[in-house]
């Protein structure tokens, strides 16, 4: 696994972005859903003007897409010891003493949970590894099985996927913020969609054709980052509608079917099984 390079750009009020400079021609905000903590505008009431339904799919919507009572394939977690691991989020990326856990799921699937040594104690690292396991267990199995590990660090609120390495990284602050909002399942889902779908389909002809045919994005975040964020932002709606009809409001379900039918149809096939 080779880590992507880091690039600093000025974006809005000068924020650091984590971007894949080798395979994407366009620089994008790699830190996921960065501004969601302050809350979005909620559901957009403008209709018929090509305006996205929400600013973001997760924070600001108040939607509990994935419930704590949904089926969970997590079985157990083991602590393996301290090892050298690459954990982005704090420099240097290479951490010589990461706390390494291994979570086991149905079917024998194992996902590493690597907690940076800056957690300070095994007890605190264990606490945060445990916060992730049942969320990982709620992933669709085909997505779960694509994930190699999750890298966790102690520090400022961040989450970002690394599709090349088949992992995502997340901070303790982001984990606690999402838990407080009952949305950690949704963030884990979003990042894992990046890992499974981004390189396969993000710029594929099929997805681009569906985008063009629909002509509108479900969130502003997707619209601003169409090659990278459109699938994760759209997938959470489609996943919920396919597996839990009427969990979303009738207005939202209608909006999705009427406004983004081609992307719905594309993603529906993945989540039906």
Q: Which is nearer to Zn ion, 63 or 77 (CB)?
A: 63
Tell me the closest approach of the beta carbon of residue 216 to Zn ion, in angstroms: 19
Of 190, 245, 191, the residue nearest 218 (C-alpha): 190
Residue range at the interface with Zn ion (CB under 5 A); choices 28-36, 84-92, 103-111, 239-247: 28-36
Q: Which is nearer to Zn ion, 125 or 170 (CB)?
A: 170
Tell me the closest approach of the beta carbon of residue 32 to Zn ion, in angstroms: 4
Q: Which is nearer to Zn ion, 162 or 229 (CB)?
A: 229
Number of residues that bind Zn ion (CB under 5 A): 3
Contacts for 156 with CB less than 8 Å, ≥ 6 apart:
171, 173
CA distance 134 to 177: 17
Residue range at the interface with Zn ion (CB under 5 A); choices 30-38, 84-92, 139-147, 204-212: 30-38
Q: Which is nearer to Zn ion, 57 or 117 (CB)?
A: 57
Q: Which is nearer to Zn ion, 98 or 151 (CB)?
A: 151
Phi/psi for 44 (5° steps) reads -80, 125
Tell me the closest approach of the beta carbon of residue 4 to Zn ion, in angstroms: 15
Contacts for 127 with CB less than 8 Å, ≥ 6 apart:
none
Tell me the closest approach of the beta carbon of residue 229 to Zn ion, in angstroms: 5
Contacts for 258 with CB less than 8 Å, ≥ 6 apart:
none
Per rule CB under 5 A, is residue 232 in the interface with Zn ion? yes
Q: Which is nearer to Zn ion, 32 or 177 (CB)?
A: 32
Q: Which residue is nearest to Zn ion (CB)?
A: 32
The answer to whether 192 and 137 have CB atoms below 8 angstroms apart is no
Contacts for 4 with CB less than 8 Å, ≥ 6 apart:
18, 19, 20, 21, 22, 162, 164
Per rule CB under 5 A, is residue 165 in the interface with Zn ion? no
Single out the residue of 29, 31, 32, 40 in contact with Zn ion (rule: CB under 5 A): 32
Identify any residues that bridge with 17 across adjacent strands, giving them in sequence order.
7
Interaction with Zn ion in 210-229: which residues (CB under 5 A)?
229
Tell me the closest approach of the beta carbon of residue 189 to Zn ion, in angstroms: 11
CA distance 76 to 12: 42
- Give me the DSSP letters along 172-230: HHHHHHHHHTT-HHHHHHHHHHHHHHHHHHTT-HHHHHHHHHH---SBHHHHHSTTTTH
Tell me the closest approach of the beta carbon of residue 197 to Zn ion, in angstroms: 11
Q: Which is nearer to Zn ion, 52 or 232 (CB)?
A: 232
Give the tokens for residue 82: 């301290």
CA distance 71 to 106: 12
Give the tokens for residue 42: 């909620």
Tell me the closest approach of the beta carbon of residue 190 to Zn ion, in angstroms: 5
Per rule CB under 5 A, is residue 198 in the interface with Zn ion? no
Q: Which residues bind Zn ion (CB under 5 A)?
A: 32, 229, 232
């Amino acid at each position: 696994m080779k880590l992507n390079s880091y690039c600093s750009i000025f974006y809005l009020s000068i924020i650091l972005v984590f971007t894949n400079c080798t395979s994407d021609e366009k620089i994008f905000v790699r830190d996921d859903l960065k501004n969601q903590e302050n809350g979005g505008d909620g559901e957009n009431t403008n209709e018929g003007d090509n305006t996205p339904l929400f600013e973001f799919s997760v924070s600001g919507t108040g939607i509990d897409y994935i419930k704590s009572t949904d089926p969970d394939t997590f079985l157990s977690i083991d602590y393996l010891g301290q090892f050298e691991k690459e954990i982005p989020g704090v420099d240097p990326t290479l951490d010589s003493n990461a706390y390494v856990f291994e979570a086991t799921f149905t079917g024998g699937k194992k996902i590493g949970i690597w907690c940076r040594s800056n957690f300070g104690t095994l007890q605190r690292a264990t606490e945060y590894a445990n916060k992730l396991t049942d969320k990982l267990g709620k992933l669709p199995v085909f997505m779960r099985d694509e994930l190699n590990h999750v890298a966790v660090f102690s520090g400022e609120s961040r989450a970002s996927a690394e599709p090349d390495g088949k992992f995502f990284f997340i901070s303790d602050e982001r984990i606690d913020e999402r838990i407080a909002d009952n949305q950690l399942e949704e963030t884990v889902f979003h990042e894992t969609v990046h890992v499974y779908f981004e390189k396969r389909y993000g710029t594929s002809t099929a997805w681009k054709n569906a985008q063009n045919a629909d002509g509108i994005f479900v969130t502003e975040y997707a619209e601003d980052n169409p090659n990278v964020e459109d699938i994760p932002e759209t997938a959470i709606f489609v996943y919920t509608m396919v597996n839990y009809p009427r969990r979303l409001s009738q207005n939202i379900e209608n909006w999705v079917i009427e406004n983004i039918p081609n992307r719905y149809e594309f993603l529906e096939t993945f989540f039906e099984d």
